Amino acid sequence: MDILLKTIILSYLGCVLKYSFAANLDPIVQTQYGKVKGTLRNAIGSSRPVYSYFGVQYGRSPDYVFRFRPAEDPWTWDGVRDATNENRPMCVQDRVRLNGLRKDTYLKYLLPDNPLMSENCLVLDIFTPRSPNDTKRDNLLPVVLWIHGGSMDAFFSTTKLWGLPAFEDVVLVQIQYRLGVFGFLTTEDKWAPPNNAFHDHLKAMKWVQKNIEAFGGNPNLVTLMGESAGAVAATAHTLIPESKGLFHRVFATSGAPNSMVWPKTYGDAIERMAKNVSCKFDDNAYTSTCLRNKISTSRIMKLVKDMDINFKMLEDRDLFPVPINEAIETKTFVSSVPVMMGVMNGEQNYLLSRRVFSNIYLKGPDLTRSEAESALRNLFHDRYQSGNVDAILKAVTLEYLDPKKVGNKGMKLYKGTMEAIADCWFVSKSARFAEKVKESGQRAYFFEFTLKPAMYDARPKDFPRLFKFDTADHADDFPYMFGLPFVRELAGGDNPALYFSDIDKEISKKFMHLIAHFAKTGSPPEELGWPQYPRYAVINKGITISKDNFQSNRMYFWNEVIPKLAFP
């Protein structure tokens, strides 16, 4: 008995000492630009520590002289730079818009109420299960590079994503990149080139190639991953020559390159802005220099808001040699890599509808046919521009809003309208991208996420909804992808900020395993028997393979019938 007791005590002390040593270890890594010191995180239900590095610079501060220009490499530094502080600055954006995204959603628990914002925001976070003292470089881990969403003019990279490497053998890198006016203002020449936000992505991807091995990551196994606008960006990089060789897989949910409509030029907007602040000159060199050096960050933000200018990506031919729609349809993929595409079965339930289509969302069961058709007409004018909007509206009305099926007022009409918007905006574009990738000869997989997070019903006061649907809303997959049910600050303690059921936790583990396996092999786990698109998987209380092709009738309607009606 004494021997057994001693054995137990010694074993326990060994575990304590081992954990204490790890907990007190300063994880210091040498990057190309200098040394960084990180910290440790431990997820609920996982025994492996995650070495975490916050706010590591991948680009020089793009304010003033570097504003509206492609990112430059960061300055080198001496000594050890502290990368333990999670409160690194976010890229500058409209706080009102950001708070609108956070209101009544789980997103409010992922960052402080009044976060620090700065133009000096070209930083990334690294989460790795590999100790910096692990000198073995013969078994490097696949890398997942996360690009956050937010319509490319808002949102953030939360510091709570370390649940994924706590359970799976991957290194996770998440980046911050310039948004809105700072990411996309352009004079469309060398003085202020287009799409600097995308050049930020490229700079971060190049940083990964040069530095990630020191964190245990394999630079030859990089998966670009994004949701919503992040998915648009991740998939768009398959069409950009400069991105070739910097990544090897794409995992994208709720977005494809043509899910967003890109303006042709910002010439008039730039001219109006410049005149407003006395920076308008006949020479773009002088105009852009004035906007860079004379105008403060806050004044630029106020000016853009007052003038109601929304800066987003342009299809400049330096970045995109072939127009995006044409490139997809002709399968002109510069980077031919395996893709995993996903959509929610309720993309327009709440988050987007209350913001972008608030007039419809607030109407709900009181929505009338004329109001529904007016909203759809506006959407089609924006998306198809010079196309035959009357023909499109007539066809969509018959397909989604047949009076015999949905009536002229009520929830059926409301749901039909939202389904039409979701299919037009997200679903059909994601499906078409997968289809064309497969036709190009590369692997393409697809899933529909349908699990409604348990927190919505468990905490109705925290997540009020005018209308309750048993479907997954836009971004409802995010907590599962990154193991938020196992992050202590969110789900730990007796009264956690976020509630997750046992099913939520189980699906999160399966989802994380799916991501890690795809990042390593370019395919889903073999045991799932997951065929390529148009077959697909449904993720709900498990991952099941559908016997049918993905919404074949509706995908044919949007991807074959509508384009011919729009441009006969």
Query: Helix/strand/coil (H, E, C) string of 98-123?
Result: HHHHHCCCHHHHCCCCCCCEECCCCE
pLDDT per residue as tens digits for the range 371-406: 999 999 999 998 898 889 999 999 999 999 999 999
Mean pLDDT over all residues of the chain? 92
Helix (H, G, I), strand (E, B) or coil at 539: strand
Tell me if 125 is assigned to some domain. yes
d(CA 423, CA 409): 21
pLDDT of residue 16: 39
d(CA 26, CA 22): 9
Residue 179 domain boundaries? 2-249+264-320
pLDDT of residue 24: 46
Q: What are the E-state strand segments in 391-524? A: 444-449
46 is catalytic: no
Show the tokens assigned to 448. 């529909």
d(CA 375, CA 59): 42
Q: Contact, 537 vs 521, CB < 8 A?
A: no
Q: Would you say residue 11 has pLDDT above 60?
A: no
Number of domains in the chain: 2
| CB-CB neighbours of 500 under 10 Å | 24
d(CA 310, CA 315): 16
Per-residue DSSP letter, 204: H
pLDDT of residue 434: 98
Lowest-pLDDT range of 151-160, 199-208, 210-219, 557-566: 151-160
Same structural domain, 376 and 232 = no
Helix (H, G, I), strand (E, B) or coil at 519: helix
d(CA 291, CA 324): 30
Among 287, 305, 320, identify where a domain stops: 320
Q: Contact, 176 vs 62, CB < 8 A?
A: no
Same structural domain, 369 and 278 = no
Backbone conformation region of residue 64, classed left if phi is above 0, alpha if psi is from -120 to 50, else beta: left
Q: Would you say residue 471 has pLDDT above 80?
A: yes
pLDDT per residue as tens digits for the range 512-524: 999 999 999 999 9
Show the tokens assigned to 533. 């698109």
Q: Contact, 193 vs 70, CB < 8 A?
A: yes
Nearest alpha carbon to residue 366 among 466, 292, 291? 466
Q: Which of 124-138, 147-161, 205-219 has the highest mean pLDDT?
A: 205-219
| CB-CB neighbours of 404 under 10 Å | 5
Pairing, β 171-175 against β 123-128:
antiparallel
Q: Contact, 201 vs 81, CB < 8 A?
A: no
Pairing, β 90-91 against β 171-175:
unpaired
Q: Contact, 396 vs 420, CB < 8 A?
A: yes
Same structural domain, 273 and 354 = no
Q: Would you list the DSSP string of 268-304?
A: HHHHHHHHHTT---SSHHHHHHHHHHTS-HHHHHHHH
pLDDT of residue 237: 98
Tell me what the mean pLDDT of segment 17-46 comes to.
Answer: 80
Same structural domain, 356 and 288 = no
pLDDT per residue as tens digits for the range 296-348: 999 999 999 999 888 888 888 899 999 999 999 999 999 999 999 999 999 99
Residue count (the chain): 568
Helix (H, G, I), strand (E, B) or coil at 183: helix
d(CA 372, CA 512): 39
Q: Would you say residue 8 has pLDDT above 70?
A: no
pLDDT of residue 25: 63
Q: Would you say residue 99 has pLDDT above 80?
A: yes
Task: Find the helix or strand (DSSP H, E) in which 69 lies.
Answer: none
Same structural domain, 359 and 312 = no
Q: CA 100, 203, 33: angle at the middle one, nearest 5? A: 110
Q: Which of 21-35, 40-54, 134-148 has the highest mean pLDDT?
A: 40-54
Tell me if 325 is assigned to some domain. no
Tell me if 326 is assigned to some domain. no
pLDDT per residue as tens digits for the range 246-282: 999 999 999 999 998 777 788 788 889 999 999 999 8
pLDDT per residue as tens digits for the range 414-451: 999 999 999 999 999 999 999 999 999 999 999 999 99
Q: Please, which pLDDT band fits residue 15 given cuts at 50, 70 and 90?
A: very low
Same structural domain, 305 and 364 = no
* C-alpha dihedral, 159 to 498 to 163 to 166, nearest 10°: 130
pLDDT of residue 135: 59
Q: Is the backbone peptide bond immediately before 534 cis, with ω within 30 degrees of 0?
A: yes
Tell me if 327 is assigned to some domain. no
Tell me if 259 is assigned to some domain. no
Same structural domain, 288 and 406 = no
Q: Would you say residue 13 has pLDDT above 50?
A: no
pLDDT of residue 3: 54
pLDDT per residue as tens digits for the range 61-72: 998 889 999 999
Same structural domain, 392 and 271 = no
Q: What is the pTM of this model?
A: 0.93
Same structural domain, 143 and 240 = yes
Same structural domain, 393 and 506 = yes
Tell me what the mean pLDDT of segment 500-504 comes to.
Answer: 97
| CATH number of residue 474's parent domain | 3.40.50.1820
| CB-CB neighbours of 381 under 10 Å | 14
Tell me what the mean pLDDT of segment 196-219 comes to.
Answer: 97
The catalytically annotated residue of 46, 52, 61, 228 is 228
Tell me if 111 is assigned to some domain. yes
Same structural domain, 457 and 511 = yes
Same structural domain, 468 and 532 = yes
pLDDT of residue 564: 95
Provide the percentage of residues in the chain whose pLDDT is more than 70.
Answer: 95
Please, which residues have CB within 8 angstroms of residue 467's CB and are 6 or more apart in sequence?
349, 364, 365, 411, 414
Q: CA 53, 56, 62: angle at the middle one, nearest 5? A: 155
Query: Where do we find the tokens 């002289």?
Result: 65
Tell me if 559 is assigned to some domain. yes
